[in-house]
Amino acid sequence: MASSAVIDVEYEQPAEGSVCDTRRAWARVPPEPTSTEREALKERIRRLLRERNAVMVSHFYVHPDLQDLAEETGGIVSDSLEMARFGRDHAAGTLVVSGVRFMGETAKILSPEKRVLMPDLDANCSLDLGCPVDEFSAFCDAHPDRTVVVYANTSAAVKAHADWLVTSSCALDVVGALHAQGRKILWGPDRHLGDYIQRQTGADMVSWNGACIVHDEFKALELELLKQAHPRAKVLVHPESSAEVIALADAVGSTSAILNAARQLDATEFIVATDNGMLHKLRTLNPGKTFIEAPTAGNGATCKSCAHCPWMAMNGLADLANALETGAGEIHVDPALGLRARVPIDRMLAFTAGLKNGIAPGSLVAGIGAA
């Protein structure tokens, strides 16, 4: 098989004041297997999953092979919130997480007794990279009167500083309920999601200045022109995008919310402003509908004019099979750190389970409680 391509990735790290430094990282993207190699790898993975009492937990942005195989073998493909819940609740002794590192860490924190494997442990996230724990800790220390609400796309060490953890599918509800209780919020690390929550809830928020290199690339002017060319299309946007892009949306939400909107909205044509890994599920679940990628600034790491996370692209069949075979790619989280980081994650899972059962957000945050 051909060798992996190593690509350069630039991301922003907030420095003093509101200025951001540009930092460099890398991603290692495996080659596409031939169809014969693909079938052989899938068969090997099916066998290893059975032999190792393992289950696949895949994100919507990873390669379609890893999404389809997860579902076919009794695993899940979902947003980051459901990945966490599914991994925690599944009886398998080994979880194979295809996504980025924070997703594997969250799975391990919630199930320290399970083995958690990833195809490539170097699969990172610009939000995680751009929010180092020492700087974030100093930010928290500078605002001791605020409730710390942290986005899931962070390291275990940053999560350990949080009162509440959220993903994009529950961030509005959690912050809205905290705001209604009169709490002031310290938010991090995604500035666009933080701004969106602030606009929607009116909460008093100070925010870390991080960004997702994929969603930051969508541009409003070009999106407006694309909308004019497709006047009947509905626009679906992930809230890690800028306020100008969100303003053009018919539906804003997490990857699951985007999938639900595509099913429910009365339209046959959609413009999609999120990672293009999402198109696989959107298209297979909605065969009669058309999905068009939203325009980007043209600086994409994986391909210039498309939106695809270089670290999600690191997940491949060969590395996944190898992880199952050899135990390579096992996630370790320091147990004491894991216990501290688990507190805000458990709060999020209890909150979202309560919402599903019809309990009001206000009584949930009061009942679950956080400093």
Which residues contact residue 354 at a Cβ distance below 8 angstroms, ignoring those fewer than 6 apart?
A: 364, 367, 368
Collapsed DSSP state (helix, strand, coil) of residue 89: helix
Q: Please select the residue that binds ligand SF4; options are 185, 214, 249, 279, rule is CB under 6 A.
A: 214
Name which position in 171, 309, 341, 345 contacts ligand SF4 (CB under 6 A): 309
Listed ranges 119-127, 136-144, 194-202, 295-303: which one lies at the site for ligand SF4 (CB under 6 A): 119-127
Does 254 contact ligand 13P by CB under 6 A?
yes
The residue whose two tokens read 């666009």 is 192
Contact yes or no for 342/336 (Cβ under 8 A): no
Closest approach of ligand 13P to the CB of residue 260, in Å: 12
Interface with ligand SF4 (CB under 6 A), residue from 12, 65, 275, 293: 275
What strands lie across the sheet with 234-237, from one edge to the other? Answer: 251-252, 234-237, 269-273, 290-293
How many chain residues interact with ligand SF4 (CB under 6 A)? 13
- Work out how close the CB of 352 gets to ligand SF4 at its nearest, in angstroms, rounded to a whole number: 19
**Chosen from ligand 13P, ligand SF4, none, partner binding at 79 (C-beta under 5 to 8 Å by type):** ligand 13P
Q: Which of 153, 155, 198, 296 binds ligand 13P (CB under 6 A)?
A: 153
Residue 192's contacts (CB-CB under 8 Å, 6 or more residues apart) are 211, 212, 215, 216, 239, 240, 241, 242, 243, 246
Smaller CB distance to ligand 13P: residue 293 or 322? Answer: 293
As measured in angstroms, the least distance from the Cβ of 352 to ligand 13P is 12
One-letter identity of residue 115:
R
Instruction: Provide the mask over 74-113, with x wherever binding to ligand 13P is found by CB under 6 A and - wherever it is not.
Output: -----xxx--------------------------------
Q: What is the DSSP letter of 210?
A: B
Helix, coil or strand: residue 177: helix
Query: By CB under 6 A, is residue 212 in contact with ligand 13P?
Result: yes
**Complex with ligand 13P: residue 169 or 315, whichever CB lies closer:** 169
Residues 6+ apart with CB under 8 A from 267: 232, 233, 234, 289
State which residue, 41 or 196, has the beta carbon closest to ligand SF4: 196
CB atoms within 10 A of CB 194: 26
Around 222, how many Cα atoms within 13 Å sit in the side-chain half-sphere? 11
Does 83 engage in binding with ligand SF4 (CB under 6 A)?
no
CB 43 within 8 A of CB 72: no
Q: Applying CB under 6 A, which residues contact ligand 13P?
A: 79-81, 153, 167-169, 212, 240, 254-255
Q: Applying CB under 6 A, which residues contact ligand SF4?
A: 100, 125-127, 153, 212-214, 240, 275, 309, 311-312
